[in-house]
Every structure is written in C-alpha cells, then in structure tokens.
Amino acid sequence: MWRPGAGRGRPPPLNPAPRGAILPPMESLAGQVLIAMPTMGDPRFERSVVYLCAHSKDGAMGLVVNKPKPEIRFGDLLARLGIPRPDRKGEGGGLRDIRVHFGGPVEEGRGFVLHSSDYAAEEGTLRVDDAVSMTATLDVLRRIAEGAGPRDSMLALGYAGWGPGQLEAELGANAWLTGPAAPSLLWSRANEHKWNAALKGIGVDPLSLSPSAGRA
C-alpha cells in the first residue's frame, strides 16, 4: 500500500465475497455503484457516486469516483513519492497523466488506483470483476507515468468504508441507490455529470427525487 502522506488505521478489506454469494439480507454489491440520495446527511458524500470494490458480511469498501482533488497534481504526487517522471512521450503524444480524486474520508493518506482489468500488478491488485480492478502499489503509478499500465484508470486518495451491516442499514434508510458501473460512467463521463448519469442509468430522473424516495 503506497502512501503519499501519513495514514493510520487498518487497511480496507481486499477480499470480497465470491460473486453470487448470498449475504443477509442481500447479495454482494461489489462491482456496482452507490448513488447518494439528496437526503444524504454527510456533506462529504453529497451527490457522490461510489464504486464498491468489496462487499461481504464483514463490511464494504469503495472509492468515490466523481470528486476530483484539483489541488493535487499527478506529477507533484509522483515527485512526493520519489517516482521519476519519464522524459519520453506516451502513446497519446504527451506524458501520461491522470486526475487525482477524493476516494473517501477514511485514511486519506493512502492511495488507490481503480483501473481496467487489462492490467494486474504482481502483488496488490484486487480483481473486482472482469472489467474493473484496484491496485494499491507504486508499480501501477510508475507504469501509468510511463504511458503504459491499464487502458483506463483513476487515482483516489482515501476510501469509503462500512462495518458489518452498516451499508445495509444505510441502504434501508434510503441514503443510497444502487446501479451498474458502466465503463462510460467510470472512465469517460465528466466528473460533474456522473451523478446525473448514474441516476439516469437506473431509470431515475434526478428532478423526480424527493426526501421520501426509496431504493430503486
């Protein structure tokens, strides 16, 4: 686990339940997104879209995918981590760069790269499903900076975590909707449009939501 700054506490769970496993009272939601309801009481998650990397009876772990941290540049982060930025050009004609995001309020000194599953590090990669993986090692940052590594990626600092039964309780309290993690939602859509797009992806008009709306 790489750390651009000081972190504390235990690392998140990195072993989701097998797909299809039944978890009382619901199946594993790993590989799906949580969409914050307008009634979300925590301002850190207001209009947030969270990709769930792990979900089991022991809790859940996810990354917010629509809240960039413009004050932190990828190149500056590489310098802080002691990773040289290559001089050669990437495939796109320029040095490879990715935006840094707020991944969640837990251990914001820890870094995670959510990426397409065409890349896997020798150690430290969690394959969520056939399309999406998460890596928490320095190697993936080196590869991205070189213009290699995964086809699609985003960098997150911190994560969102839930203890046993906590996410289920929040879903029951209508704090979140759930939906599929379409590739365009994760990688192509502009951050400011992801919340609306996630809602429309499950057939919900954002303007129709009310404080009493339930889970889709």
Tell which residue, 155, 152, 59, has the closest CA to residue 102.
Answer: 155
pTM of the entire predicted model: 0.82
DSSP 3-state assignment of 98? Answer: coil
> What tens digit of pLDDT does each residue of 128-146 get?
999 999 999 899 998 888 8
Q: Report yes or no: 63 and 57 within 8 Å, Cβ to Cβ.
A: no
Contact yes or no for 119/140 (Cβ under 8 A): yes
**pLDDT tens, the chain, 216 aa long:** 445 433 323 334 433 333 333 334 468 999 999 999 998 889 999 999 999 999 999 999 999 999 999 899 888 888 888 888 766 554 444 456 688 999 999 999 899 999 999 999 988 899 999 999 999 989 999 888 888 889 999 999 999 999 999 999 999 999 999 999 999 999 988 999 999 999 999 999 988 875 544 444
- Name all domains of the chain by residue range, CATH numbers in brackets: 22-198 (3.40.1740.10)
The residue type of 98 is: I
* Rounded CA separation 150/152 (Å): 5
Strands 100-102 and 132-135, sheet pairing: unpaired
